Amino acid sequence: MRVAHWLTHLAFDRESVVWGPFLDALARDFMLLRYDQRGSGLSGREVDDVSFAAWLSDLETVIEAAGLRRFALLGISQGAAIAVAYALRHPERVRKLVLYGGFARGRRRRGDPEQLEEAELQERAVRLGWGRENPAFRQIFTVQFMPDGTPEQIRDWDSMQRLSTSAETAARVLRTAAEIDVTAALPELRVPTLVMHSRADARIPVAEGRLLASLIPDARFVPLESRGHVLLSCEPAFRTFCEELRRFLHGSDRARIATEPLTQREHQILGLVAQGRSNQEIARVCSLSPKTVRNVVSMLFDKLGVPSRAQAIVKAREAGFGEE
């Protein structure tokens, strides 16, 4: 589950030369769920409430609508703090937490007069120049997000920002993100966590990523050799990000079935699930009620640490289940 952040557009992102390769890389290895932040992308543009509480509530609503039980949560940039808040509120649902380019405290909460002044200047610049044909105002952000972007990537990012939201909403998002502070709650987090951050991130200092990792119990911190807040597919750091993500999320999955004790019935049903049988078919084969099968399959999802039947099939087959 990818938490919404600055900025997204569900339709445009798939075709973007910046976000497209990133989404493709995630979808190759995982079932990826994403949504637009309120006021941006395909969401309604006129919103009354642009607040941290509203962002968290939106995430909860999307997860409930998707029917997710246990899943990995990816928080990027401002989405990292939202992901942390969700994991604190629903620890039983978050299997693993991945934070990239994130921060626990926004620019207005870091005790740095220079960062406070910069936050105020950027908010004013957005209100003044966001909707103009001339991209100069929007490129204030472009050069911070991707200082090494090609002309095509820079044009793509500028178009994405302009298409994604209005000047007023963009300014409100900036202001809300700048007021975030979840530092006090981080030591209470009890979810396996991977924190990654570009060493020379021009948007969010790497020190903020290190702070996140230092305050979350047993979190692992991985610095990436990049200047970008957004990783580009041509960078070696992009490949490192993908490799670390796969290792963290899949590393123990093959051993999970062996270490989680299965009853005889669970063992039999998992084998049938791995063969692609439906609950109704399994019920007939095992002489059980469909409700009983449904309950057993749900427990198996928990033991496998997967949110969907498709992923359960993959994990079970990797462990040798499902052979006729």
Q: Give per-residue pLDDT as tens, 207-260.
A: 999 999 999 999 999 999 999 999 999 999 999 999 999 889 876 544 455 445
The closest of 311, 314, 319, 279 to 69, measured between CA atoms, is 311
| pLDDT number for residue 139 | 76
Amino acid found at 168: E
Q: What is the DSSP letter of 68?
A: -
Q: What is the DSSP letter of 131?
A: T
Over range 23-49, report the average pLDDT. 91
What is the CATH number that goes with domain 10-250? Answer: 3.40.50.1820
The closest of 139, 105, 101, 102 to 122, measured between CA atoms, is 139
Q: What percent of the chain has pLDDT over 70?
A: 95
Q: What is the dihedral of CA 85, 90, 93, 98, to 10 degrees?
A: 10
DSSP H or E segment with residue 321: none
CATH topology of domain 255-318: Arc Repressor Mutant, subunit A (1.10.10)
| pLDDT number for residue 84 | 98
Query: How does pLDDT run across 80-139, given as a tens digit for each residue?
Result: 999 999 999 999 999 999 999 999 999 999 999 988 998 898 898 888 888 777 777 777
Domain range annotation of the chain: 10-250, 255-318
Distance CA 269, CA 82 (A): 37
Cα 76 vs. chain centroid, distance in angstroms? Answer: 6
Greater confidence (45 vs 99) lies with: 99
- Cα 308-313-317 angle, rounded to 5 deg: 150
| pLDDT number for residue 250 | 79
Do the two domains 10-250 and 255-318 of this chain adopt the same fold?
no
Query: How does pLDDT run across 300-322, given as a tens digit for each residue?
Result: 888 887 778 888 888 787 777 77
150 confidence band (pLDDT: 50, 70, 90): very high
- Residue 298 reports pLDDT greater than 60: yes
